[in-house]
Structure 1
Amino acid sequence: MTGHDRAMTSFDAGLKALVEKNADIARALKLAGAPPSRNRKPGFPSLLRIIVNQQVSVPAGKAIWERLETGLGWVTPKAVLEKSDDDLRAFGLSRGKGRYAKKLAQAVMDGGL
């Protein structure tokens, strides 16, 4: 069983448990269907993308991510750390997200993640 298979099994089991405990969730699931899985490949780009997409609309997150990919070339910890705070802001990251991106990149470079 792959990691994705395990995640989907866990996701499905979680939905089933919620349906069994809450009639409102059961009705919503019946009407709207299951939410899409948001499994991502493990690694720095996926973690950074989670930061980028927090508290922004899907189209805004996509646009910021595309500018980030273009500006960095390769989405790597080294590439993020080589950019200035102003560069990251020009790609669309807020000051806070820029700080988080650099802290994440440094943690990966230091072997903490």
Structure 2
Amino acid sequence: MDEEIAMQYFSYGEKEIARLAAEDPVLGAAMDRLGRPDRVIFPDLFSALIRSVVGQQISTKAADTVWNRMQDALGNDITPDVIALAGADEIQQCGMSKRKAGYICGIADAVAAKKVDISTFRKKSDEEIIKELTVLPGVGVWTAEMMLLLSMERPDVLSWNDLGIRRGIMRLYDMPSLSKSEFEILRNRYSPHGSVASIYLWEIAHTDCW
């Protein structure tokens, strides 16, 4: 199947856009200017989790490069068994640190042993999933939030820990800095459609001619 056809995108529409615009006219004007950006999602929970770990503290472009190398080396279907068979050394050779490769192997072992049962996640709240995932070495709140947003399509994820989102906020409102309390005001304003706000804030952060 052609890769472009196989891609899936975060589902949102006029209802979410209109609600955000009504709550925040500044964001509303930006959304009108940007149109309706697509955001690729990764429905398989395990591979999405590993992809989030790969993306920790590196640019989106670098993360895509490493992930593509992993798929070239291990195959498109990244499962706990595939990770275990490859081992940390082969994973590290895809372009990451030894520590991160070790985290990935540890996560695969934990999921295979059902120490973390990701098959139950779709029945759980965001907070419950974050709590379970962040017990795993190498999985912080940001990693869990990216899985919630970019795999599970949870509707109200706005991550303080994401540099792109914070940068998008500062560009949108012409702010030289952003405090956690200022961020929380916006998080509450955007709720319950924080994930759609995140998609637009990422777009704002990476639009050259903003």
Q: TM-score, normalised by structure 2?
A: 0.43
TM superposition shift of 1:89: 1.7
Give the residue type in structure 1 aligned to 2:92. R
User: Of 83, 86, 89, which residue of structure 1 is paired with 2:89?
Assistant: 86
Percent of aligned pairs sharing the same letter: 24
Query: Counterparts of 1:68-79 in structure 2 under 5 Å?
Result: 68-73=70-75, 74-79=77-82
What's 2:61 paired with? 59
Task: Kindly indicate whether the alpha-carbon contact (under 8 Å) linking 2:89 and 2:101 is maintained by their aligned counterparts in 1.
Answer: no
TM superposition shift of 1:22: 1.0
CA offsets 1:3-43 (integer angstroms, 9 cap, x no match):
x8xx624x764443322211111111011123323332233
TM superposition shift of 1:56: 2.7
TM superposition shift of 1:46: 2.4
Please provide the CA RMSD for this pair: 2.7
Task: Tell me how many residue pairs correspond in the alignment.
Answer: 108
CA offsets 1:57-100 (integer angstroms, 9 cap, x no match):
33322221121112223422112123333322211123443233
Q: Give the secondary-structure state (helix, strand or coil) at the position aligned to 1:75.
A: coil
5+ residue gaps, structure 1 = none
Give the residue type in structure 1 aligned to 2:82. A
Of 18-27 and 52-61, deviating more is 52-61
Taking the aligned partners of 2:59 and 2:26, their CA distance within structure 1 comes to: 26
5+ residue gaps, structure 2 = 1-7, 119-210
Q: TM-score, normalised by structure 1?
A: 0.71
